[in-house]
Amino acid sequence: MIKPHGAETLTPLYVSDDAERAELIKEADNLPSVLISSGAAASAVMLASGYFTPLTGYMNIAEAVSVASEMQLPNGLFWPVPIMNIVSDDQLSDRIKNAERITLRDPNVDGNSPLAIMKVSAIEQISEEQKQLIIEKTFGTTDPEHPGVPAFADVGDNVLSGLIDVLNYSYFPTDFPGTFRTAVEIREDITKRGWETVVAFQTRNPMHRAHEELCKIAQRDVDADGVLIHMLLGKLKPGDIPAAVRDAAIRTMVDHYFPENTVSITGYGFDMLYAGPREALLHAVFRQNCGATHFIVGRDHAGAGDFYGPFDAQTIFDDIPEDALEIEIFRGNWTMWCNKCNKIIMMGDCPHGPDDYFSISGTKMREMLGAGEQLPPEISRPEVAEILMEYYQNEAN
């Protein structure tokens, strides 16, 4: 199986020993505590799960600036997106400032229970110049209309860095018991299935017909044993379809339209960044950590609005060192319905022209559903359309 990124084995930060974890949970109640942001909490879950191997905690300012500017840590490790814990002034008490170890409390669960214990390496004040540099390099813009920009800019100015021991996986195992999986568990499942070549597909949306066919084309072209459909389960921007609805829609599609034991449906606990090209690189990193040998990067991958070109998330892979990643990228072209072929095709694989094509997109699908329009079979499988229409009708009521 493909090696994890920058390591021989995964380095999950979840404290798996029951006795050790119980002691740490006791200690957490007596330590100074800070309520962290949803993004920092999601990063803790990713660190706990082994997805962010080989990181051991949150980055300091110098590390974050290096990652933003050079896409590598000061030690030379390729990493495309800063992983930071930034808090506001009202969270930074004197007890926190003078502590060697602190409790990180979860903003996404009732009671804000302890999520992790952090060994504080540094508490630094980030300057506006440093913050703007990180935002511009990560998101390619400082426009506050980009959903990722205010999520980073408005969280605070105090950067807490250091190693963490993670005590739980937040709300993800409870809310998504059949879907949330750690990188460790996914690797174990791939081994159990006997898969050697695995193509991973990222989604934050229900899968329309073009997504389905893209997975099948990629599986065929790389001769993969299976497809890892790996959905984001964390926070999204307004208007995106909730994870539980996506989960049901994707499972229904796979049950009806994929051969048995060719697809693994899983999810991961992270908040969407909408960072386009940089996020595509991060997605590739943690799919390598999952054990996938190939990763599909399609049109407008991880984008938002018109902030990125349709294939910017593919071309950025041409700008990184050849040895930065071991996982291989499968580049998806425009995918659409051809009336003459009477099926979904990928641009370049069909002899017909634009007059014969029916364009498919998640945006179009959401617009039609929001308007109460029935999804045609060219866009969605009927079983999937039924689930989505029921959700939108309930939302309207």
- CATH number (domain holding residue 300): 3.40.50.620
Q: What is the DSSP string of 252-306?
A: HHHHHHS-TTSEEEEEE-------HHHHHHHHHHHHHHHT-SEEEE-TTTT--TT
Residues 181 and 126 in one domain: no
pLDDT value of position 355: 81
Domain boundary (174, 192, 210) is at: 174
Enclosing domain of residue 241: 177-396
- Count of structural domains within the chain: 2
Question: Cα angle at 104 between 167 and 64, to 5 degrees?
Answer: 105
Q: How confident is the model at residue 397 (pLDDT cuts 50, 70, 90)?
A: low
Residues 186 and 297 in one domain: yes
For the stretch 175-226, pLDDT in tens is 999 999 999 999 999 999 999 999 999 998 888 888 999 999 999 999 999 9
CA 228, CA 202: separation in Å to the nearest integer? 9
Residues 206 and 237 in one domain: yes
Residues near 185 by beta carbon (within 8 Å), at least 6 away in sequence: none
Residues 315 and 389 in one domain: yes
The answer to whether residue 11 sits within a structural domain is no
The answer to whether residue 258 sits within a structural domain is yes
The two tokens of residue 361 are 């997109």
Question: Cα angle at 204 between 203 and 209, to 5 degrees?
Answer: 55
The answer to whether residue 195 sits within a structural domain is yes
Residues 170 and 183 in one domain: no
Residues 244 and 217 in one domain: yes
Percent of the chain with pLDDT over 90: 79
Compute φ and ψ for 46, nearest 5 degrees.
-65, -40
CA 182, CA 378: separation in Å to the nearest integer? 34
pLDDT greater than 80 at residue 239:
no
Residues 203 and 312 in one domain: yes
C-beta of residue 116 within 8 angstroms of C-beta of residue 44: yes
CATH number at residue 128: 3.10.400.10
Domain boundary (174, 197, 224) is at: 174
CA dihedral 328, 334, 339, 340 (to 10 degrees): -60
CA 285, CA 201: separation in Å to the nearest integer? 13
Residues 158 and 211 in one domain: no
The answer to whether residue 87 sits within a structural domain is yes
Count of CB atoms within 10 A of residue 130's CB? 18
Residues 203 and 346 in one domain: yes
pTM of the model: 0.93
**Stretch 369-380: mean pLDDT:** 85
Residues labelled catalytic = 204-205
Compute φ and ψ for 165, nearest 5 degrees.
-110, 120
Domain boundary (151, 174, 197) is at: 174
Say which amino acid occupies 120. Answer: V
Q: What is the DSSP string of 177-238?
A: TTTB--HHHHHHHHHHHT-SSEEEEEESS---HHHHHHHHHHHHHTT-SEEEEEEE-S---T
The answer to whether residue 9 sits within a structural domain is no
For the stretch 253-311, pLDDT in tens is 999 999 999 999 999 999 999 999 999 999 999 999 999 999 999 988 999 889 999 99
Residues 202 and 168 in one domain: no
Sign of torsion over alpha carbons 118, 162, 83, 137? positive
pLDDT value of position 119: 98
**Stretch 240-251: mean pLDDT:** 90
- Tell me the CA end-to-end span of the chain in Å, nearest whole number: 49
pLDDT greater than 80 at residue 125:
yes
Residue 361: closest CA among 245, 206, 219: 206
Residues 91 and 184 in one domain: no
Q: What is the DSSP letter of 343?
A: E
What is the SS3 assignment for 105? Answer: strand
Q: Across the chain, what does the average pLDDT equal? A: 94
The answer to whether residue 211 sits within a structural domain is yes
What is the SS3 assignment for 78? Answer: strand
pLDDT value of position 346: 76
pLDDT greater than 90 at residue 75:
yes
The answer to whether residue 142 sits within a structural domain is yes
The answer to whether residue 133 sits within a structural domain is yes
Residues 29 and 118 in one domain: yes
The two tokens of residue 331 are 């580049």
pLDDT value of position 396: 55
112, with CB counted inside 10 A (0-12, 13-18, 19+), is middle
The beta-strand segments (E) located in 95-197 are 101-105, 114-125, 158-166
CA 62, CA 122: separation in Å to the nearest integer? 11
For the stretch 139-173, pLDDT in tens is 999 999 999 999 999 999 999 999 999 999 999 99
Residues near 92 by beta carbon (within 8 Å), at least 6 away in sequence: 34, 123, 158
